[in-house]
Amino acid sequence: LVQPAVSWARDHGMGATHCHADGRNLTWVPDSSLDAVISFAAIYSLHGRDQCEAVGQLVEKLRPGGRAWLGWMCPYPFYMPMHKMGSRNTLSALFPAICQGNQAPPANWAGLCEEGNRYMTPPQATWDACFQRLRHGRWSRSKVDASFYWRDEWSVFIDPRDQAIW
C-alpha cells in the first residue's frame, strides 16, 4: 500500500488496522492469522510468477477454512475475449499443454505464452499450475492446501437483475 492510501484508510477504516508494506513480502504477517483476504487490482502489475508467490504467501496467512477473494488481476483487453467462450476457446484448451509443459513452446506461440504467463491467463489453467508448484514447494513444509476457482468477475459485480442487459 502507498502511504496516502494508508492515511485515507486510517481516517475512514472504522478502527481497522492498516500499514504501509510491500505486498510481495508478507513474512511480517503471522501464519494462520487472517480470516479472509480481499484483493482487487493489488497484484495487477506483477508478473505472473510474482502473483503466484504473493498469493501463495496470502494463503499461508489464512486460518484453516479462511477464504481469499482476488479480483482484477490482469488487463481486461487481454483476457476478456478469451473467456467469452470459456473452455470452448482454443487458447484456453491448448494453453496448458503448449505453454506450461516441460519444453519450450513453438516459436509461433512463444509471445502468446509469455503474455499468458505474465497475466496468469487463462486463469483456471495458470492458477492451477501455480497452486501445484506451491504444493510441491513452499506449502509442502506446512499443512496448507488450497484450490483456485475462477469466476468471471462480471457476474460478481453485476446485480443479477441487470444481467439481462449484458
* Amino acid occupying residue 58: L
Please give the pLDDT value at position 164: 46
Note if the pTM is more than 0.95: no
- Consecutive sets of 10 residues in the chain, 166 residues long: mean pLDDT of each? 73 68 84 87 84 91 88 62 55 74 84 81 81 90 81 52 45
Measured CA to CA, the distance from residue 116 to residue 123 in angstroms comes to 9
One-letter identity of residue 47: H
How many angstroms separate the Cα of 111 from the Cα of each of 46, 99, 106, 115, 118?
Answer: 18, 10, 10, 6, 10
Q: Which tens digit of pLDDT belongs to each residue from 143-157?
A: 788 888 776 655 444
Query: What is the DSSP secondary structure assignment for residue 81, as one 8-state letter?
Result: H
